[in-house]
Copies of this chain bind each other. A is one copy, B any other.
Amino acid sequence: MKDLTTTEILDKTETKYFTFAHPPYELTLESGEKLGPITLAYETYGKLNEQKSNAILVLHALSGDAHAAGISKKDGAIGWWNNLIGPNKGIDTNKYFVVCSNVIGGCKGSTGPSSINPKTGKPYGIDFPIITIGDMVNAQRHLIDHLGIEKLLAVIGGSMGGMQVLQWMVAYPERIRAAIPIATALRHTPQQIAFNEVGRQAVMADPNWRMGNYYDGPKPANGLAVARMIGHITYMSHISMEQKFGRRLRTGKEPCKFGVEFEVEGYLRYRGDTFVKRFDANSYLYITKAMDYFDLLNGKPLNSVFKGLNAKVLVIAFKSDWLYPPYQSQEIVKACKLAGVEAAYCEINSTYGHDAFLLEIEEEAHLIKHFLNRVSNDLAIGV
């Protein structure tokens, strides 16, 4: 197989901003509350063709942002899915026009709890309304309208990004030709809710959280770091941890008796500490809650979920992913098949755990590339 991961890199990518839902035309959220104005931070790569038929929407996971690919013009940062998106890569920006936007509720340029509430002139904090995966997708739909795209060639995302893919399939089936949900689920199990809830408890237990009203003082960094550490354990597999750390001890001394000794401890603390520098604790609460609320079944029978969808679907799961185990992806496939939707299932034999959707690029890239080729070809010949 040709290596799709080491080719040309997109240079000087830029984040743009789209603002809509200006009062009195606010967006009505699924909760019934209204929110506006709403800004979405987004990036685009490649060129939209004349027919506007080559657009792919990439959806990010819990801690992601709009900067999916290339080198940021602003700070030189590499996009979070850069190995997959770019010229001649799995999602080939020579062929496709790729869009990625930061979710509402986020803290990377889109409107969220750390944004200024126009009514008070202060950050929303927990006055920010509860948001859902449905609300995230509704906001994205406004952006897609703004870009003049009537029908997306594909929606693609992993983890919470995959939930947004599934939501697109249900909420706007007529706006997509194909969908690739990766390492995700139709709804959170109580175990998935439980891990998120403990993370939220860790944040809210931090006295600096102050009911979400911390923007003028110290941040609830300790609580958020603990939440992120819990997350990282669930993102890795038992095997990938064994391979990465074993029981090796760190070198160097620690002043405190309960300091870092095992390498895995050092890794978790490092990941926790770096996360608090780049992420807002309230966004963590809102976004994890949106994931927990997500439930495409909600009492309905499985065969009704994707009824009427006329899109091709590629479902990807990873063998060692115990946070979003393969059986949850198989359930998505089953729901598609029961609704007569064309769906393929690929389980990649990775040891990386849930992180595999960001790391197991080689195989993922080939699967996605060939699937997108087929969708494009079918479109060209009018199938």
Residues on A facing B (Cβ under 8 Å): 126, 130, 187-191, 193-195, 197-198, 200-202, 204-207, 211, 222-223, 225-226, 229-230, 232-233, 236, 238, 241-242, 244-247, 256-258, 262-265, 268-269, 272, 285, 289, 292, 295, 322, 325
Give A288's nearest chain B residue, CB to CB: B258
Give the 6 A-B CB pairs with smallest separation, nearest first: A205-B222, A190-B264, A190-B241, A190-B245, A198-B229, A197-B265
Q: Is the CB of A242 within 8 A of B193?
A: no
- Assess the B189–A262 pair: CB atoms within 8 A: no
Interface of A is mostly: helix
Across the interface, which residues of B come within 8 angstroms of A232, CB to CB? 194
From the candidates B190, B207, B268, name the one contacting A244 in the complex (CB within 8 A). B190
Q: Are B241 and A191 in contact (CB under 8 A)?
A: yes
User: Which B residues touch A188, using CB under 8 A?
Assistant: 247
Q: Which residues of chain B are within 8 angstroms of A222 by Cβ–Cβ distance?
A: 205
The count of identical subunits is 2
With contacts A205-B226, A268-B198 taken as known, whether A257 is within 8 angstroms of B193 at the C-beta atoms is no
Which residue in chain B gives the minimum CB-CB distance to A263?
A: B190
Query: In the bound complex, how far is the Cα of B195 from the Cα of A322, in angstroms?
Result: 15
CA of A241 to CA of B193 in the docked complex: distance in angstroms?
10
Closest B residue to A238 using CB positions? B191
> Considering the chains assembled together, what is the distance between the CA atoms of A38 and B37 in angstroms?
66
Residues of B within 8 A of A130 (CB): 257
Taken together as a complex, chains A and B put the C-alpha atoms of A246 and B187 apart, in Å, by 11
- From A128, which residue of chain B is reached at the shortest CB distance? B257
Whether the Cβ atoms of B200 and A241 lie closer than 8 Å is no
